């Protein structure tokens, strides 16, 4: 079997993770929608898990998901909102695997610069860009702006905009199910664990590197 010949590179949609009823999230989501429409990026809204009350609230559309019964949190410092963020992304990884097509994952503060329609990097996370790069920072093959405390590992630092295919989604799901949630989502997306590439700037984060994800939503 020609594995590459059977690989569908067409991106099914971008999914904007949003929290209905939260004013900040709704405002940012509208800006993200407008940016998608302006560049012709197909998109769908995806209601986030919500951890603001201290407990994880499951969106109505995901109440049949069973993965949260198997994911284990192996750290004491991670907050309910950070866990909810992880769940939201994990659910989209599962969706990517289920539909067997590449997807784009956008947090509500992402702004699309140009459409990402074809995922030509089989079994790779494609990082779509950052506010630093929008302001002129270098674009290199591995996202440059996050390292661990001793500089050994590069990670995407903010998971506001990236693309995946079913093959990498399966690997990401398997890794997290085996290892559990040991840190925040963006630090899990580390280049020594998963192949990560970047091919230009397709998006950036509206908040210019100041995360809204743990403060105003999820």
Copy the structure tokens of residue 109: 């503060």
**Sole residue written with tokens 């429409």:** 37
Q: What are phi and psi of 164, to 5 degrees?
A: -140, 160
Answer yes or no: pTM beyond 0.85.
yes
Residue 1 lies in a domain: no
* Total number of residues shown for the chain: 218
pLDDT score at 193: 87
In this predicted model, what pLDDT tens digit does every residue of 104-114 receive, in sequence order?
A: 999 999 999 99
Residue 58 lies in a domain: yes
In this predicted model, what pLDDT tens digit does every residue of 3-35 receive, in sequence order?
A: 455 678 999 999 999 999 899 999 999 999 999
Residue 2 lies in a domain: no
In this predicted model, what pLDDT tens digit does every residue of 89-128 receive, in sequence order?
A: 999 999 999 999 999 999 999 999 999 999 999 999 999 9
**pLDDT above 50: residue 187:** yes
Residue 165 lies in a domain: yes
Q: What is the DSSP letter of 183?
A: S
Residue 95 lies in a domain: yes
In terms of residue numbers, what domain contains 41? 14-205
pLDDT score at 1: 37
Quote the number of domains for the chain. 1
Q: What are phi and psi of 125, to 5 degrees?
A: -85, 130
**pLDDT above 60: residue 152:** no
User: Is residue 128 within a helix (H) or strand (E), and if so which, with residue range?
Assistant: none
Residue 211 lies in a domain: no
- CATH number of the domain at 116, please: 3.90.550
Residue 214 lies in a domain: no
Residue 198 lies in a domain: yes
- CA 123 to chain CA mean position, Å: 15
Q: Give the number of other CB atoms < 10 A from CB of residue 9.
A: 14
């Amino acid at each position: 079997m020609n594995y590459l010949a059977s690989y569908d590179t067409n991106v099914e949609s971008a999914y904007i993770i949003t929290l209905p009823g939260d004013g900040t999230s709704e405002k940012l989501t509208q800006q993200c929608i407008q940016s998608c429409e302006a560049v012709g990026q197909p998109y769908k809204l995806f209601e986030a898990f919500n951890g603001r009350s201290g407990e994880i609230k499951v969106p109505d559309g995901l109440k049949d998901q069973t993965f949260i019964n198997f994911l284990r949190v192996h750290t004491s410092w991670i907050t309910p909102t950070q866990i909810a963020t992880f769940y939201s992304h994990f659910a989209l990884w599962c969706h990517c695997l289920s539909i067997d097509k590449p997807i784009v994952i956008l947090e509500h503060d992402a702004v699309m610069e140009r459409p990402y329609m074809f995922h030509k990097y089989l079994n790779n996370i494609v990082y779509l860009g950052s506010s630093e790069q929008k302001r002129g920072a270098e674009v290199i093959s591995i996202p440059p702006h996050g390292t661990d405390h001793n500089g050994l590992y590069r990670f995407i630092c903010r998971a506001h905009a990236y693309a995946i295919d079913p093959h990498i989604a399966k690997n990401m799901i398997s890794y997290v199910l085996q290892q559990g949630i040991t840190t925040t989502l963006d630090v899990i997306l580390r280049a020594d664990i998963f192949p990560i590439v970047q091919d230009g700037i397709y998006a950036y984060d509206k908040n210019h590197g100041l995360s809204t994800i743990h403060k105003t939503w999820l």
